[in-house]
Amino acid sequence: MSRWFAPIAIAAAALLTAAPAAAVTIERITSPSGIAAWLVREQAVPLVALNYAFSGGSAQDPAEKGGVANLAASLLDEGAGDLDSKTFHERLENKAIELSFSVGRDYFRGSLRVLNEHRTEAFDVLRLALTAPRFDTADVERVRGQILSGLRRDTTNPNNIGSDNWWQTAFPGHPYGRDAKGTLETVPRIGVPDLRDYVRRVFARNDLTISIVGDIDAKTAGELIDRAFAKLPAKNDLKPVPAVTPAGLGRRNVITLDVPQAVVTFGGNGLARNDPDFMAAYVVNHILGGGSFSSRLYREVREKRGLAYGVSSNLVWFNHAAILLGGTATRADRTGDVLAIIEAETKRMAAEGPTADELAAAKSFLKGSYALSLDTSTKIAAQLTQIQLDNLGIDYIDRRGAMIDSITLDDAKRAAKRLYDGGLLMTVVGRPAGVLSTGQ
């Protein structure tokens, strides 16, 4: 942990025993300039946590210059306005301001955490980063070099190789098929005008989602929101992204690499977050491979046969696509066995669905574990932003338990068939004995 974040970390530790999920009280607020946000007042510690998202992530990168959004995010704390990189970082350190920026396929996200006594300065620094990034040549080249170094390491990493191949096969020619970091070919093409163009097109008030949690009232929160965001353009200028479904289902790609284990990435169709069957599918996926020690895949692959340290699957949803995505790593000579188990278990779930006992246990776990995602101010702010992006409603936290309880065995079986009946796209990286590419 960086030493200038220590005061915040010490204060935030008190929130590890925050009230349970059902006790979170969310207020809708509007800043003086008309920017909407959600606020949770948490007076346990004297700090403010901000989380926000702009529509327009790496899907906005030009195809020939993949990595623009990621490079921009990596440079926003490298100087802004009249503050060069060194002075900008000193400002963060001196005021114990924690600032971060990241990019996904659909959104540019950011967060801020600061003690109350320095919140005005923190929101001023954020405003400079968003409205007046410097993108000085020396900083651009230094950060570009760091990204390229990481991309070169990725070319020999079986996890990255498998993931990249899976996405490229599932979404050929679509922005979702590209890595947000860009490639060794595209990142060198990015110039400062590209970075400024991305910021100009994406950072705007009309598709801005904001959440604030902390020891702060609605009036002060609104004033701070305006301090950081009011000077942004009123409207963004985003390129349309077409809806898409994953391709290559039923196909297996084997990529030879001299590594001790074989790394497996698998996935298929998912369900949109607003699909009526989504919550049932979420519970069903937990039963099949949701990462818990009780999942079918974990039991069959790890516990019964000892073929892998872990295996899991998740539902992933975007604005224009939804997928099921999972992975594992295993001995090269047993890769075929692992693939056969994954395929057999997904087909069995599609055909039969879960048992009543499995459904009851999954419901109990998913309800009880949710509070862990709401045990700090930073986590609460991030959850509120995601709830807003998913259009789940301000009362979602209160309703979530009842939504899970209402899922019947018939609901679960229907969702299982929709989720797993379409087949899987698999990518295997390593030297898997007897395993060949299929469906090419």
Backbone angles phi, psi at 63, to 5 degrees: -55, -35
Count the Cβ atoms, other than its own, within 10 Å of residue 59: 24
CB 380 within 8 A of CB 15: no
What residue has token string 């020891």?
215
CA of residue 371 relative to chain centroid, distance: 19
pLDDT bin (cut points 50, 70, 90) of residue 251 is very high
| CATH number of the domain located at residue range(s) 252-430 in this protein | 3.30.830.10
Render pLDDT for 331-371 as a digit per residue (tens, 0 to 9): 999 999 999 999 999 999 999 999 999 999 999 999 999 99
In this predicted structure, the answer to whether residue 240 has a pLDDT above a threshold of 60 is yes
- Fold agreement between 3-229 and 252-430: yes
CA of residue 309 relative to chain centroid, distance: 24
- The residues facing 208 across adjacent strands are 54
Residue 45 has a pLDDT of 84
CB 430 within 8 A of CB 335: yes
CB 26 within 8 A of CB 213: no
How much is the average pLDDT of 267-296? 95
What CA–CA distance (Å, rounded) separates 168 from 246?
10
3-state secondary structure of 145: helix
- Map out the domains of the chain as residue ranges: 3-229, 252-430
Render pLDDT for 114-127 as a digit per residue (tens, 0 to 9): 999 999 999 999 99
pLDDT bin (cut points 50, 70, 90) of residue 3 is very low
In this predicted structure, the answer to whether residue 293 has a pLDDT above a threshold of 90 is no
Residue 14 has a pLDDT of 36
pLDDT bin (cut points 50, 70, 90) of residue 103 is very high
Helix spans in 230-325 (H): 278-289, 296-298
pLDDT bin (cut points 50, 70, 90) of residue 15 is very low
Average confidence score pLDDT of the chain: 94
pLDDT bin (cut points 50, 70, 90) of residue 6 is very low
Amino acid present at 427:
T
How much is the average pLDDT of 39-67? 96
Angle at 380 between CA 375 and CA 383, to 5 degrees: 125
- Long-range own/partner contacts, residues 342-349 (CB < 8 A, 24 or more apart): 342/264, 342/266, 342/297, 342/301, 342/311, 342/424, 342/426, 343/424, 345/288, 345/296, 345/297, 345/300, 346/268, 346/288, 346/420, 346/424, 347/420, 349/284, 349/287, 349/288, 349/296, 349/416, 349/419, 349/420
Class of domain 3-229: alpha beta
